[in-house]
Structure 1
């Protein structure tokens, strides 16, 4: 008996240490993933333009990356007051929205949203990735009849949480071509997997209770029927906590959510059968 209690205490201590270690690991992973990047000190060429593509949203359902394009003209393109000497047009392609940004002569350049096409499959959540290839950024001064191309520097940044954005130089073209790859961060994937584990624990607990009760090893308690119903209603809110809200029909629904619901419903049916057996 003493040895059994010692083993139980040892398992309890190990469980507490493992839980605390997991908690610390999750906090550290989140903190390291949220560290600020090094400050950007890029400057446009005097006769060119510096264009920032800032990814601020990822839409797997519409296969697009939402970006905000910010343009910084060089000194030769500005007058002493800091306004444009001539019309400036920036083209971004392939774009799902208007790909041409025009800034009028005598005004200051701002930022505008642009949607880029992206290849990916949200049904692979949380391991879905998206890529847009050969993103071309061109800049011109002057009107459409007498446009002059200007050198362009392109920098890709990200203001989107839970995603890691990587850009690399693509095959050279008339402008600066880039391939942009977007994937969920490690902590985000871990959070999604943890939510799946939480869902799987629910039917394991309810099946244990219902089977033991049906076999007569535990007493039937009517309030537990309400507990089963609460577990069933908890599935959808827990699923809605999945990062990125994957659409119904994703692989996680067929491999986790569906079987959680089946397990809970089976538990409820078994407990009702136990009530039928033990009822006077």
Structure 2
């Protein structure tokens, strides 16, 4: 009877473990699908006039430390503005940009247009708020030919940086395409950063419990335990450097978890060594022999 009960308990435990694994995998797939959908989202602004300039823009990389992003542009003239199916403009084409984009872009007439990467300045936010830092910028693109004659623009914007999620507002103003872009850390980065902070505190508490056990029971210099504590001290530094986006020292991640965990572990190592040395120097008196 006892064997049957134990067998049922083991089966139930195995079923619960499999269900927990399946649930975790399902949540992971759901989160990944959401991020993939966000990266595939296209934001559009501008009309569909036959003689216009189409701009396909994509955020290639966000440099939070440098407070800028790299925007890749593919400009395609349409209708009477184009030659060879939009490969080159019939007249010199100028893209007029907002102040956050470094300078206007000019494409000579009858010359092939290729993709171009332009830096865009970010405002607000600070990387020291990692992983909760957020940024914003305004993108405005208008087009002109001849003697600054304005032509309509239709623009599509996408985000290709998996480390950041984009919140975009699109509008049209006087034939120009305008995008209000907000950037914040993606869900995967946020989850991993929170996990890192929780793991750092968990390891620090584990070392603290081990040190308390060694000190209160006067275990002396227990070298395996000291090796584990010292290894944890240096392993946390390497673990911290794996944070996505390479945040600098002094970010919120450090002040919430990393610096405190390192302090606790270092204090535990020193305390165990000092008390262990005293225990080894003054061993407890052996119990008296029985008559």
- Do they superpose with TM above 0.5? yes
2: CA distance, partners of 1:162 / 1:107:
36
> Does the aligned pair in 2 maintain the 1:207–1:267 contact within 8 Å?
yes
2: CA distance, partners of 1:39 / 1:136:
16
Please give the TM-score of this superposition, normalised by the length of structure 2: 0.80
Alpha-carbon RMSD across the aligned residues, in angstroms, is: 3.2
Q: Give 3-state SS (helix, strand or coil) of 1:34's partner.
A: helix
Between structure 1 and structure 2, the one with the greater Rg is 2
Aligned to 2:32: 30
Correspondence 1:272 to 2:273: yes
1: CA distance, partners of 2:157 / 2:44:
14
1: CA distance, partners of 2:112 / 2:170:
29
Aligned to 2:82: 78
2: CA distance, partners of 1:233 / 1:14:
38
Q: CA 1:41 to 1:244, structure 2 compared with 1: closer, same or farther past 3 Å? A: closer
How many Å apart are 1:166 and its aligned residue? 2.4
Greater mean deviation of Cα atoms: 110-119 or 170-179: 170-179
> Does the aligned pair in 2 maintain the 1:50–1:153 contact within 8 Å?
yes
2: CA distance, partners of 1:275 / 1:16:
41
Aligned to 1:155: 156
Structure 1: 5+ residue runs without aligned partners? Answer: none
Q: Deviations over 1:13-48 (max 9, x none)?
A: 899579634455234312442246368999963211
How many Å apart are 1:260 and its aligned residue? 0.5
Note the 1:7-22 alignment, pairs <5 A: 16=17, 20=21, 21-22=23-24
> Does the aligned pair in 2 maintain the 1:67–1:116 contact within 8 Å?
yes
Q: CA 1:173 to 1:251, structure 2 compared with 1: closer, same or farther past 3 Å? A: farther
Q: CA 1:215 to 1:77, structure 2 compared with 1: closer, same or farther past 3 Å? A: same
Q: Give 3-state SS (helix, strand or coil) of 1:246's partner.
A: coil
> Does the aligned pair in 2 maintain the 1:46–1:77 contact within 8 Å?
no
How many Å apart are 1:225 and its aligned residue? 1.4
Structure 2: 5+ residue runs without aligned partners? Answer: 284-291
Number of corresponding residues: 269
2: CA distance, partners of 1:31 / 1:167:
19
> Does the aligned pair in 2 maintain the 1:53–1:67 contact within 8 Å?
yes
2: CA distance, partners of 1:16 / 1:44:
56
Q: Which has the higher contact order (CA 8 A, sep 6+)?
A: 2
